[in-house]
Chains A and B, each alone.
Chain A
């Protein structure tokens, strides 16, 4: 049972063969595969972390851009409102000036018409007065009578106006 035999040397040889075979067939390929997979997982994790950081940076950038755009829109809105208010004011001023001008024009036209009417009325009155005077004097009214009556009326009118 405790006899040493050639089995000792054969077993050492067998173990050496088994070691070399398993090292080549099992250990090296599987260890290389495990290392490669661990490396790939590590790289994927690093990639995911980088992507997360990049997404966060992009998110911050977009947020700041959005905030900038909102501020710009608000400023533009205020500016447009101010401009509209000024334009409205200018339009109102212009309208008011135009209305004033129209009113002055109308007033002048009315004055002109009134003067014209007065002229016509004075002529008519002179004619009527000349005719009345002729009737009283018992003769036909002449053109010189009408002119004299008209001058008289004018002087009377001018004296009343004073």
Chain B
């Protein structure tokens, strides 16, 4: 009975941790817009990224120091990858794909900076992974598929897009149309499922062995998995755009 009670208690704790909470509401134009904790965390990360970018680029030196070197390496890496995959159009998509990649890295790794409770200490706030919210991953996937569709029209025109729908054979039309739903769905659910799964595992690890194991397990489930998912999402987005403009 007591074991069932503890299991229920653990389940409740996990449910409580992964639940998306409305922090406050914005009343505007007769609408009551709920602002969730993921939106607050997104704003905080955006502020951090924008401020960091401004500070990094404020005084660029010909002989760079370490922070500038990191920024140059990141921007150079994204520019190189996009040029390799998208050819001469690479530069025009580098900023979008780089922003996506940077945001995903920040979103997936931010929970590692969350204050930890215990021994009677209750932190004032927790940073939970943004991408445990399907709305966030769906929004990212929607932005990608909108870019894909926009790129198709921009580079091939309406006629080229229509021709692509029936290629290589006309009977492929339904499958090609379905791709516009499958691609974003797979992007959104892969990211959501992986991050949520890793987060739940980490909650279980913390519940079973609060000391010692969580930092080690966190290296894989928080750091490695977070980075891999950011890379996979960004890389697939690049591939989808490359397919659209080739």
Given contacts A7-B39, A31-B79, A37-B62, contact A21 B50 (CB under 8 A): yes
Determine if A22 and B39 form an interchain contact, defined as CB atoms under 8 angstroms apart. Answer: no
Given contacts A5-B34, A22-B49, A25-B53, contact A31 B103 (CB under 8 A): no
Q: CB-defined interface of B132-145 with A at 8 Å, one 1/0 digit per residue?
A: 01111011101100
**A33, B75: Cα distance in complex, Å:** 11
In the assembled complex, which residues on chain A have CB atoms less than 8 Å from the CB atom of B134? 1-4
A11 is contacted by which of B62, B98, B100, B136 (Cβ under 8 Å)?
A: B136
In the assembled complex, which residues on chain A have CB atoms less than 8 Å from the CB atom of B49? 18, 22
Q: CB-defined interface of A23-62 with B at 8 Å, one 1/0 digit per residue?
A: 1011111110110010010000000000000000000000
Given contacts A10-B39, A18-B99, A22-B95, contact A4 B135 (CB under 8 A): yes
Report if B71 contacts A (CB, 8 A).
yes
Determine if B99 and A6 form an interchain contact, defined as CB atoms under 8 angstroms apart. Answer: no
A30 is contacted by which of B34, B71, B91 (Cβ under 8 Å)?
A: B71
Determine if B95 and A8 form an interchain contact, defined as CB atoms under 8 angstroms apart. Answer: no
Mostly, the A contact residues are helix
Determine if B99 and A15 form an interchain contact, defined as CB atoms under 8 angstroms apart. Answer: yes
Determine if B19 and A1 form an interchain contact, defined as CB atoms under 8 angstroms apart. Answer: yes
A6 is contacted by which of B34, B57, B100 (Cβ under 8 Å)?
A: B34
Determine if A18 and B57 form an interchain contact, defined as CB atoms under 8 angstroms apart. Answer: no
Report if B56 contacts A (CB, 8 A).
yes
Report if B94 contacts A (CB, 8 A).
yes
Given contacts A14-B46, A29-B57, A30-B71, contact A19 B96 (CB under 8 A): yes
**A26, B138: Cα distance in complex, Å:** 26
- Residues of B at the A interface (CB closer than 8 Å) are 18-20, 33-36, 38-39, 42-43, 46, 49-50, 53-54, 56-57, 60, 62, 71-72, 75-76, 79, 91, 94-96, 98-100, 102-103, 133-136, 138-140, 142-143
Offer 13 A-B interface pairs, CB within 8 angstroms, sorted by A.
A5-B20, A5-B34, A7-B20, A7-B39, A7-B133, A12-B142, A14-B43, A15-B139, A18-B103, A25-B50, A27-B95, A31-B94, A33-B57
**Given A14-B42, A15-B140, A16-B143, 15 other A-B residues pairs in contact with their CB atoms under 8 A:** A1-B20, A5-B135, A7-B135, A11-B38, A15-B100, A15-B143, A18-B46, A19-B96, A21-B53, A22-B53, A26-B56, A27-B98, A30-B56, A30-B57, A34-B75
